[in-house]
Structure 1
Amino acid sequence: MTTSPETRTPAQRPSTSSERLGGAGRREQPAQLDQVVHLLELLAADAPVATVAAVEAPVAARELALRIASAREVHRKREAGLAALLDTARELATASDPGSVLDAIVRRARRLVGTDLAYLTLYDPAAGDTFMRATDGSVSAVFQSVRLALGAGLGGLVASTHKPYWTADYWSDERFRHTGAIDGAVGEEGIIAICGTPLIVESNFVGVLFAANRSSRPFTREEVALLGNLATLAALTLVQTRALADSEGALAALSVAHETVRQYAEGVEKAAAAHDRFASLVLGGGGVDDITHALAELLGGWAVLVDENGRRKSSAGPAPTVDGSGADPLAALDALPGLENGRLVERDGVYAVAVTAARERLGTILVGGLSLIDSDQRTVERAGVVTALVLLFERQAADARQSARNRLVSDLVSSRGSREERLSLARNVGFDPQRSFCLLVLRGDDPNGHRALLISASAATGEASLVGSHDGDVIALVPGTDTDALARTVAARIGKRTCVTVAGAGPVGDVDDIAKAYEEGHRTVAALIALGHRGTGAAATQLGFAGLIVGSEPDVYAYVRGLLGPVLDYDERRGTDLVGTLVAYFASGGSPRHAAGSLHVHVNTVSQRLERITALLGESWQQPDHSLELQLALRLRALQASSHAGTARS
């Protein structure tokens, strides 16, 4: 009999270093040394965690000892669970008839999970329900004869969904459809807490295995998994013993069952190793790249993680590469039917599992170059869950960084704070507002896509840009001077995935000019949408007369020169008056004859001048849009001339 360190007699307990040194030596040793030595003695004696925690010792030493004791306890429980499963497999393998198999199943389940009773129901295909077949610890005859319709009670829900369910308080749990017959039987047995897991063999539903308690108690995920593993072993063995009872050739089938049990036990150990590997990666601060590489190493073959937009985020192993045309051969697999259910699906030797969290699709894991057995498939599904957690952590960190950038961008476009504060905050994030840059205002069509648009804008403008939001607008401060070209490029890049309108303002060269540039960009993006240019990009200077309206500092001279420049230059070189001919032509409603009358020249002269204007401005100058722009330019030129004349007279 092994005694704990606390209950050993002085003769049994190993002497400490202080005792070996004698009384004088013990007095000379620090008290803390004795405490540390005592901790080591407890660990050597495999003392429980509670005993180690009760020892007075230096904090660092006690924490280290607790970690060691806890790790031992976790491994001990895992080893005990695996050993129990193997013992169960051996016990079930020796059973010769279905009745003894079922009795062994419920007896082992009650002992392994540690509940007041365990019971098993079998599926009746003819009646379409399940009936009570074996119990251990039950005292109610009514309970032992109850039948459960599919979908009724906890057991009926397990039977209809083929998924495990558990509850610490059956009576207050509204997830299950309570019926009088089932509640009466459960009440007579005095059951409070129930855990049920399906018995399934090769997609065939066999029955349900339960562990129940007569007092409230939670079921841990480890207990649920243990009961599920036992149910799998039970289902396999039950099917095989049925075959043995029905056929003389069942001996060969039983050998197959033994091999299946052995492979399953190996799969359990492999799954446990995969779980430990993934857990250590996450706890060690690993990212999705680490998980993808670990998955490829555990299974062989290759593994690829694509994000919610179908773009590769991580890859390990000899995965298919993007072809010369830029097409990804794995892109179509991101939308395989069945992925939305969270289970592994397969097509043409490639397996896929969705990475989801809170019903949101975060990406997809794809593996190939191998054939997966059942335990390997569970490993891939477990990798999907772990990847979802890591992606959520990364998203939270990115959201925190983006929130700080949003506040900074809002301060810059609103001119909040002193000039020095704004300069310092911008430079702290790597952006220098004293160097030439363009300000872009982006507006998407999806009212719920603001966060996605922020991410897309950051990717489209590059790491040197500062991207944030203000009053519902996504704003990007991008180094450069060609505002119009930049707006068009960003709109085209993001437009491959979603419709976005981009307005450019600038270039800007000082932090104090950002607010004015934002006002211009804000008006320009609204003008682009109002003018029917949704989904495009442009600067205010490229909107023609509309740009004069939305621009913060309209450049009338540049607008006039941009439209009439070739005609004005021709008149200046040749001493002609083609501009006057244009004015007369538009004033006469586009009639050469009436224009000739107002100019006091022959109509052929007007026709010749109009041909020269066509040569200078192009064939489209008489089209409605171009014609309107020309007339506005002529009117603005006339207003400029009268303004200059009035200034000269004054």
Structure 2
Amino acid sequence: MDTRELQALYDLALRLSGVHDLDALLQDVVAQARRLLDVDIAYLALPGDDGALTIEVTDGSLGPRLRGVRLAPRVGVAGRVADRGEPVRSADYLADRDLLRSDAVDRVVREEGLRTIVGVPLRLRGRVDGVLMIAQRSVRDFTGREMAFLTSLASFAAVAIANARLITGHRRAAAELTAANDELRRRVDGAERAARVHGRMLGVALRGGGAEEVVLAVSAEFPGTVLLVDDRDRPRVAASGGAVRTAAPPAGDSPAAAFAAERRTRRDGRTVTVPVASAHTYFGALRVTPDAPLHDRDVRVLEGAAMTLALVLVVERAVGDAERRTADDLVERLVAGRVGDEAAFARRARPLGLDPRVPHRVLVVDAADDARVQARLDDLVREHGGIAARLRGRPVAFVRADKDVLRAFAATLGATCGLGGPAAGAAGLAAAHADAAACATVLRSLAREGACAAPADLGPYRYLLSRSGRADADRFVRATLGPLLDHDERRGGDLVRTADAFLGGGRRHTATAAALHIHPNTLYQRLDRITALLGAGWRDGDRALDVQLALRLHRLAADLGGDPPPNP
């Protein structure tokens, strides 16, 4: 080789040594071979695991057909080069009968219009790592110097390819090692977080902490918002960054509805909702909306936190049930007048929230043992001070709050409520409860569902709440309805109820008969009998108002039952 060719090889060696991307390197090799040897096309084939060669890159091809062609061992010029490990030339390939042929290769050669094809091995340490090919679309006699130049170029290319593969392998190994280190670091961080959260959860459970502490601990570990809802999806506590936040109802599907059928963790985008449940009881759900997506290991930490929450809530419920029974018993004794030593009673009552020395108002809710109402009363007494209980099938609260607060609270319940007090001392609190219970009963009897009233709101019916008032009302009822009452008592009749229904229904005969489930003729007979007993005019004018008031007082007194408390 002359000086120019040596300089070209030196420049090429420098160029190839700086290319570490294998695909780019292969493309550069064939491009330089085509340029330096001034041929129509150059291409390079690399062996696979099965020994077959695959043409990886081309330069000068008429189309994409040549790239990707597979050459079986010993087939064609490239196959013979790889088999013998030495340069091979074919002056006119399609006419060369000395080579093993392949229809697929012949077809591509024909489509490319190739005539003379030359191949040299990419040898390194006695091993053939590929074949560099050049071809001409006319018959060309390559000189010995050109063949030597091509062989030297292939040797440089073999070294450069080996280096590129080595560097690529190192980079891949480094990337895999970095990824493994990152994954290990994430696993260690996750394990440390899990241990840290578990330790905090265990500490909360062991010292008798509440659900709020658990939620705060979770929010301190998971940036974002953490919300605990109860079994009816009502927000119980929300936290972010280890601090309590305003709790808002959960958006999206109802966790309670979802977990009624299956109790398993749900993921909706970034939000993770974990059921808080024991073996037989669903307490609610822990909903976490993180600032960054959570990994599976983070979800497992949340599931562990939910288990701790379930344990805390089981204990809370057991303690709450015990306190409820204690509160129910204490209020029952107070209302029934079985206080005994008032000082001793006060010592029992104060830890439960009731201080008899301090004025309280009493709220009685005319509802069955509704868990929702009871929970609301518990919240009320926690906020204002006092005690909530269940008494004779009704939720009741003794609260240190003013009347306007209780009226506003009652309006949110959607239930009929009676108010009593303020009062202090065992006797005063019992009397206030009697007033509140009687008010609730009167409102129900008057069909004023959802209303809230204190004794002063009942108008003439308030007299039924005291002994002297009840006696006055009884005298008025006896003076107005005496003959009817006596008739019904002697004969087991129904004239009082008939008169009440007739006047209360606007004196409409058909409607009254339907309400009493009797024939209209029967109604007329009863009305005539009432007229005979009370005298003409009982259904008209002021007399009718007196009769109707007496009927209501009689009905309310029956609903109230028993003796009212003495006058204050």
Q: What TM-score comes out, normalization by structure 1 length?
A: 0.40
* Larger CA Rg, structure 1 vs 2: 2
Q: What TM-score comes out, normalization by structure 2 length?
A: 0.45
Between 1 and 2, higher relative CO (CA 8 Å, sep ≥ 6) is seen in 2
